[in-house]
Amino acid sequence: MAKVRGGHPAPADAEARRSVAAVICYPSESLPQPDLVAYRAAREGWTKVDVVTMPPRDARSFTVPAGHFFRILSVEGPQVGDLNLWSASDRDERFFSGKTRALHGTHLSTGDRLWSCLLHLRPMATIIEDTLDWYGVDRWGGSVHDVIGTRCDPYTHRLLSGGDYHHCCHSNLTRALARHLDCPLDVAEPMVHDVLNVFMCTGFTRDTGQYFMKASPVRPGDFLEFFAEIDLLGALSACPGGDCSAEHSSDKATCHPIVVEVYRPQSPPRGWASPPRNGYDGGHGA
Ligand SMILES: [Zn+2]
């Protein structure tokens, strides 16, 4: 059935209204800028302290102390990953995909930060290297590592197809978190949140504004590398969509593992200090 939309006549000044110049909502120049030179220098002589492999169509948790680095690495074949982050000491502080999108744009790369949710709103991690930064924005408006999708989940799948599928990223992340916390699934599930879609290539169609995906350009050896600004608990799901060239929420796509490596530097980056919680006093004008 066609969408019922439109039907209202354009006013005489429609073009003038459409021609109004756009204003960037959150000019990112006003954000404190990460010192990427200092971050990268701190990698010299670092030690790999942990390696966690996400099996295809499944997720695993990992922890990264503040001041350490972690790298999400493509191995074996093109594969998209759905990333969740929490403060290791307070799971109420979690990654805020929406505000990260508002601050940095629809797709993240080097120098962008993953911000935590309100009441905290501080950088959780800073991206310090992205081997897919050459991709840029393609002719359909597609780009890599988005904060626009949410995560594939069995509820939406049921809504659209009527069936149940248990290896969506939402379920994979729920099982991984429940295992880490040694808690029931229904305790872990509400802590799962909107993700960073690592390696996924996405955009919005220009004509209908719909969310699209296309085959990820990622190849084995590509990685996205982060610096942990606070003590982190992470979970990463190897999406059942594989490279997300055709469909997700099924067992049809070819899937591969993804690896997370954690590195301890010899000393923290020069001048770095773990950021405090946001300074707003919570008065709300009452
Ligand atoms: Zn997924």
Within 13 A of 245's CA, how many CA atoms are on the CB side? 11
H-assigned helices in the chain: 14-18, 36-41, 97-104, 154-161, 169-181, 185-188
82 C-alpha to ligand 1 centroid (Å) = 6
What is the reported pLDDT for 2? 54
Question: Could you tell me which of 85, 55, 112, 104 has the C-alpha nearest to residue 238?
Answer: 55
**Residue 48 alpha carbon to ligand 1 centre in Å:** 28
Q: What is the pLDDT of residue 28?
A: 78
Cα 149 to averaged position of ligand 1 atoms, centre (Å)? 9
Per-residue pLDDT of the chain (286 residues; tens, 9 = 90+): 556 678 899 999 999 999 999 998 888 788 888 999 999 999 999 999 999 999 999 999 999 999 999 999 999 999 999 999 999 999 999 999 999 999 999 999 999 999 999 999 999 999 999 999 999 999 999 999 999 999 999 999 999 998 999 999 999 999 999 999 999 999 999 999 999 999 999 999 988 999 999 999 999 999 999 999 999 999 999 999 998 888 777 788 899 999 999 999 999 999 999 999 999 999 999 9
Q: How many CB atoms lie within 10 A of CB 61?
A: 21
Interval between CA 6 and ligand 1 midpoint (Å): 33
List C-alpha distances in Å: 3 to 7, 117, 122, 160.
12, 35, 40, 16
* Ligand 1 center–CA 286 separation, angstroms: 42
Token pair listed for 211: 């969310």
Do residues 234 and 58 lie in contact, with contact meaning Cβ atoms separated by under 8 Å?
no
pLDDT of amino acid 250? 72
Calculate how far, in angstroms, residue 131's C-alpha sits from the geometric centre of ligand 1.
22
CA of 205 relative to ligand 1 center, distance in Å: 20
Return the pLDDT at 1. Answer: 53
pLDDT in the model for residue 31: 86
